[in-house]
Amino acid sequence: MPELAERSIHMLTKKRFKLVAAIVLVFTAFFSQAAVAYAAPKVLVFNHGKEIKAWDPSIDDSGGSFVIGNIFEGLMKDTKDGKLAPGQAEKYTISPDGLTYTFYLKPNITWSDGKPVTAKDFEYAWLRLLDPKAGSEYSYMGTSYIKNAKAFFDGKAKASEVGVKALDDKTFQVVLESKVPYFLNLTTFFSFMPVRKDIVEKYGDGWEKNPKTCISNGPFVLESYKIGDNLTIAKNPKYYDSKNVKIDKVKMVFVSDQTTALNAFNAGDIHVNPEIPPAEIPRLIAEEPNLVFTPRMQTAYIIFNVDKPPFNDVRVRKAFALALNRKAICESALKGGETPATGIVPPVLSLSTGESFRTLGKNGKPTTEYGIDPNAARVEEAQKLLAEAGYPNGKGFPKVTYTYVTRESLKKMSEAIQEMLKNNLNVKVELDNMEWQVLVDKRKRGDFIISGGNWTGDYADPMTFFDAYATDSSWNECQWRWKKSKVAPNDTVLNPEHKAFEQEILMAQKTSGTTRDEHLKNAEKILMDATPVSPLYYGNFCYLVNQDKVRDVWMNKVGEYKFWDAEMVQ
């Protein structure tokens, strides 16, 4: 009996052990699955710097382009190797005369709420871009190229007469006024991305700021927006290529103070940071492997209000332009590898021959053009022009205020400009800084006298640096027009020389090859002779990427960050 009892106890113990082991395995499997299901999302933190005002594709003024370019998608899209690829379009055809483009949409594309993306969505969005009632900042991008678009904008044609039409649900056709060699590039620009008519008309202004009503068609969707703090976009499961989008979210924070932003990057709180104090750049170039430099389609300049004294006198504008030492501004104030500018078109853009638009020296840098020496101020000439305008040695020159965007690097540059004008022309210029959107709004109203600004190309062609000064461009902030325009009701003083400029850019839109090059060069000469703006430097993309935590963040040619290829490093 004692032997049987011992064996029974042993068997019972083994059964209990097996039961406990099985329970442990079940719980282990459950919690492993739960850990996978509830793993922390892969969130990339990007510093946008300034607050984002809006990101409505048809209406936005470019401040929200980083958002639009990631939550919406056009007919074509950029790739990280700098090429074009089909986006919402599966394929396209071009008529023999180069005027008609027919796009065939992918069969499986949907909006983020699951409804199909149709050619009607593109037709509605493009007509909305061209409608003056909508008040788009970039309407001129369409009126310059699309058949009858300008007439429609001016109220002289019906919407049905404009060269954009949905032939059926999946076929969208565009007819141009003349051949445009870079038209496919334009279809990647945010203004030409589709929007939903039912959403826009139901919810009105600000529809894109609410995650519940921001219906989009790109790799990401709007998840949240906290005014003054951050904006978060999340992976769009309805996107046709969502399986290849590797990160879950991008949190865009608004840290405009460059020192604070750099500290946050160093602490690991920000993964991608373009806001860098200029004083730190030399050290970072020497020590920081995470610093990225790449050429930029950007020209920074002084903007003159050509309708307000004393800058309604071209001699005063030219005197200010010649009194500046651009090399010193780049090397002492900015320190970011910028290149002194001698013309409005940056050297990264080319003529039809493949040569740089700029005349370059043996060192690959721009040489003297339009009287501007990239390496020194031309003080005597500047003083002579100012004297001819009635201000010998600066005597009697009125008090003027130079406005600029609140940023450490721009503060140093503005102070350098202030000092040069004092030393070289004996004129006193006061400085005033403000947030980007505030200053842009003031300039568009003509509520300024002299300001610092810049233009980054919207597409990879020299024309992008000229069409901004067209009569119907709201970005023509210098108020330089030969006739009145709906987009600039406050610009009532007309500038006759602008007509010849506009004729040259019109001819450049209609011609090709070296003939087109000549019209582009003529347009730049007219602009530089009139000096509504004076170029200061050509910019670089300079930003920090924490390569220990993230990879494959890239920028397209116009400087927009793209996140659909990005991946968090484990």
Peptide bond into 310 cis (omega under 30): yes
CA distance 483 to 498: 9
Identity of the amino acid at 112 = S
Q: Give the model's pLDDT for residue 39.
A: 61
- Tell me phi and psi for residue 348, to 5 degrees: -75, -15
> What are the tokens at 214?
């921001």
SS3 453: strand
pLDDT in tens, the chain (570 residues): 333 333 333 444 444 444 444 444 444 444 444 443 346 789 999 999 989 989 999 998 778 899 999 999 999 999 988 889 999 999 999 999 999 999 999 999 999 999 999 999 999 999 999 999 998 889 988 998 999 999 999 999 999 999 999 999 999 999 999 989 889 999 999 999 999 999 999 999 999 999 999 999 999 999 999 999 999 999 999 999 999 999 999 999 999 999 999 999 999 999 999 999 888 988 998 999 999 988 789 999 999 999 999 999 999 999 999 999 999 999 999 888 899 999 999 999 999 999 999 999 999 999 999 999 999 999 999 999 999 999 999 999 999 999 999 988 899 999 999 999 999 999 999 999 999 989 999 999 999 999 999 999 988 899 999 999 999 999 999 999 999 998 999 999 999 999 999 999 999 988 889 999 999 999 999 999 999 999 999 998 889 999 999 999 998 878 889 999 999 997
Q: Give the model's pLDDT for residue 212.
A: 97
For residue 326, count CB atoms less than 10 angstroms from its CB and return exposed for 0-12, middle for 13-18, buried for 19 or more: buried
Contact 455, 441 (CB under 8 A): no
What pTM does this model have?
0.82
SS3 315: helix
Q: Give the model's pLDDT for residue 310.
A: 98
Q: Which of 73, 206, 58, 52 is nearest to 141 (CA)?
A: 58
Helix 498-510 to helix 513-530 angle (10° resolution) is: 160
Residue with tokens 């920074």: 300
Secondary element (H or E) of residue 479: none
473: left (phi over 0), alpha (psi -120 to 50) or beta: beta
Q: Give the model's pLDDT for residue 126.
A: 98
